[in-house]
């Protein structure tokens, strides 16, 4: 029984079926598998069995499987199955997947494949590729069923049956008027429950939530999440229905956006996964590191300026790492709260002032607690109450200012329409290094006569 087999057992069984040429048993086994499973098996099986595995699959199986493969494997599959089967599969692929795939190909191969596809499908995918990256238009599919508003339930069911293949994964029917404008939506369930003679326009839901082709994918994700939709219709400016975006693509968007936020926050460079080559990883990380290295030298030149103070009281240096570090940490904390919030909340003047004021007070509370602790520790450790006081009051000031830096920098970037996540933890930490050293040695120099 296929349903309880592990992947290893499945691979073994499939290889035996392939070897023995049992195509019928192979097919009935493949029918029970999910596209992800077919793709997983393809990747895990020894290279030498792959060609036969593909040759035993139907075009539908290949189409389903390709959607679950990584780019390099997709190209390998299309190459292995030959041009005829490849073109058939491409005709059936989701447009958004196909658009992403074609973009990776060289111009010549792309043209060749597009021209061999069905005219309608080829046109549809080329349309998609005209929309900007990360827009709703780029990720929509034309595999959905629309019906004119004058249809009855019976008409709709007939149309649905004839489009069965493409209507596979979505359970809404979109209703349009004579100008192809979106006027309503109806669920499969409404069809099942409706009387065959009922008019679609009487059953349909007319306040349809839709997104524009040019809207950012994150906004589309927010709509789907907010309304708990399984799909959302995509319209052009004049409300003409051109496609739908489905919830499975949205989950991928949400995960990808979270990854990107994380990468930016850590200044770790774009798209470094476990498979990235070492020199590529180094190359992607170096720009930030070198920039921050030179900003870090500014901190050093501040010390240069305070050389006399440092020379006289070397003990001041002992507290440098702690002050700079703690200021960096509080800034990073504020930054994280602000950036995650900016991604989700509607920002207006009131919200911003409330936030800044909240962080200011939080910075004061944090500053008071930390500076009392360090005043005591420093005084006892160095047996010098004045030094303790200098360190403690410096920390109070730097923590308040560091918290504010972590709050205000991303807000300013947001206001300037720059992605606030560009203000990474390392950047705020480096800036706070400079601020904290200036304050610390400024206060220390002022009290130099007493130290």
Q: Which of residues 32-91 bind a second copy (CB under 8 A)?
A: 32-36
Q: Does 23 bind a second copy (CB under 8 A)?
A: no
Q: 3-state SS of the chain: helix, strand, coil percent to 5?
A: 70, 10, 20
The correct pick among 45, 175, 191, 242 for binding a second copy (CB under 8 A) is 191
Q: Which of residues 370-389 bind a second copy (CB under 8 A)?
A: 370, 373-374, 377
Identified binder of a second copy from the candidate list 193, 380, 385, 412, rule CB under 8 A = 193
Asked whether position 447 contacts a second copy by CB under 8 A, the answer is no
Cα–Cα dist 93/171, whole Å:
19
Is the Cβ of residue 20 or residue 44 nearer to a second copy in the bound state?
44
Q: Could you say which residues in the range 329-348 bind a second copy, by CB under 8 A?
A: 329-330, 332-337, 340-341, 345
If the CB atoms of residues 214 and 230 are measured against a second copy, the closer one turns out to be 230
Backbone φ and ψ of 68, nearest 5°: -105, 0
Cβ contacts of 208 within 8 Å, gap of 6 or more: 174, 182, 183, 184, 185, 233
| Number of residues lying near a second copy (CB under 8 A) | 119
DSSP conformation class of 401: H
Give the nearer residue to a second copy in terms of CB position, either 297 or 418. 297
By CB under 8 A, residue 296 contacts a second copy = yes
Q: Does 18 bind a second copy (CB under 8 A)?
A: no
Report 199-238 residues binding a second copy (CB under 8 A): 205-209, 224-230
6 is a site residue for a second copy (CB under 8 A)? no
Shortest distance in whole angstroms from residue 210 CB to a second copy: 10
Q: In b/e form, how buried is each residue of 192-212, taking b as 16+ CB within 10 angstroms?
A: eebeeebebbebbeeebebbb
List all residues 6 or more positions away from 320 whose beta carbon is below 8 Å from its beta carbon. Answer: 437, 440
Q: Does the footprint of a second copy cover residue 441 (CB under 8 A)?
A: no
Output the six-digit token pair for 196: 């065959």
Binding mask 150-189 for a second copy (x = CB under 8 A): -------x--xx--x--xxx-x----------------xx
Token digits of residue 371: 């500076």
- Least Cβ distance, residue 36 to a second copy (angstroms): 5
432: helix, coil or strand? Answer: helix
Q: Are 94 and 67 in contact (CB under 8 A)?
A: yes
Rule CB under 8 A: is residue 146 a binding residue for a second copy?
A: no
Choose, by CB under 8 A, the member of 251, 385, 418, 450 that binds a second copy.
251
User: In the complex, what is the shortest distance from the CB of residue 31 to a second copy, in angstroms, rounded to a whole number?
Assistant: 9
- Residues 401-440, one symbol each (x = binds a second copy by CB under 8 A, - = not), give ------------------------xx--xx--x---x---
Least distance from a second copy to the Cβ atom of residue 101, Å: 17
Transcribe 257-307 into DSSP letters: HHHHHHHHHTT--TT--TTS-HHHHHHHHHHHHHHHHHHHHHHHHHHHHTH
Near a second copy by CB under 8 A: residue from 233, 359, 400, 443? 359
Task: Among 133, 179, 238, 304, indicate the residue that binds a second copy (CB under 8 A).
Answer: 304
Q: Edge-to-edge strand order for the sheet containing 231-235?
A: 211-212, 231-235, 241-246
What residue spans of 117-187 are helical by DSSP H? 119-129, 136-139, 153-162
């Amino acid at each position: 029984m296929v349903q309880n087999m592990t992947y290893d057992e499945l691979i073994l069984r499939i290889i035996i079926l392939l070897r023995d040429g049992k195509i019928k048993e192979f097919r009935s086994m493949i029918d029970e598998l999910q596209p992800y499973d077919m793709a997983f098996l393809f990747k895990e099986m020894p290279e030498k069995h792959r060609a036969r595995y593909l040759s035993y699959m139907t075009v539908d199986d290949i189409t389903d499987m390709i959607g679950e493969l990584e780019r390099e494997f997709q190209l390998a599959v299309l190459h292995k199955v030959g041009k005829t089967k490849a073109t058939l599969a491409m005709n059936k692929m989701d447009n958004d997947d196909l658009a992403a795939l074609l973009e990776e190909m060289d111009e010549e191969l792309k043209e060749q494949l597009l021209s061999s596809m069905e005219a309608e499908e080829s046109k549809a995918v080329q349309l998609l590729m005209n929309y900007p990256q990360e827009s709703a238009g780029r990720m929509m599919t034309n595999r959905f069923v629309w019906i004119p508003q004058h249809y009855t339930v019976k008409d709709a069911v007939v149309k649905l049956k004839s489009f069965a293949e493409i209507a596979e994964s979505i359970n809404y029917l979109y209703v349009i008027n004579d100008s192809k404008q979106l006027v309503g939506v109806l669920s499969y369930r409404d069809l099942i429950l409706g009387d065959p003679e009922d008019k679609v326009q009487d059953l349909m839901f007319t306040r349809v939530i839709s997104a524009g082709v040019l809207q950012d994918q994150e906004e589309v994700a927010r709509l789907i999440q907010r309304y708990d939709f399984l799909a959302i219709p995509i319209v052009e400016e004049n409300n003409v229905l051109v496609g739908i975006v489905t919830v499975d693509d949205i989950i991928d968007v949400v995960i990808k956006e979270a990854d990107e936020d994380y990468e930016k926050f850590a200044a770790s460079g774009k798209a470094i996964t476990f498979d990235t080559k070492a020199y590529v990883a180094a190359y992607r990380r170096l720009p930030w590191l070198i920039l921050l290295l030179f900003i870090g030298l500014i901190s050093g030149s501040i010390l240069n300026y305070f050389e006399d103070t440092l020379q006289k009281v070397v003990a001041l240096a002992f507290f440098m790492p702690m002050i700079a570090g703690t200021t960096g940490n509080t800034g990073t904390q504020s930054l994280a709260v602000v950036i995650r919030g900016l991604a989700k909340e509607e920002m207006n003047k009131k919200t911003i002032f409330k936030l800044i004021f909240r962080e200011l007070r939080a910075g004061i509370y944090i500053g008071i607690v930390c500076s009392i602790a360090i005043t005591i520790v420093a005084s006892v450790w160095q047996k010098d109450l004045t030094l303790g006081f200098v360190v403690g009051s410096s920390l109070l000031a730097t923590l308040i200012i560091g918290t504010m830096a972590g709050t205000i920098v991303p807000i300013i970037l947001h206001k300037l329409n720059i992605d606030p996540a560009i203000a990474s933890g390392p950047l705020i930490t480096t800036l706070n290094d400079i601020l904290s050293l200036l304050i610390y040695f400024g206060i220390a120099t002022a009290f130099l006569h007493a130290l």
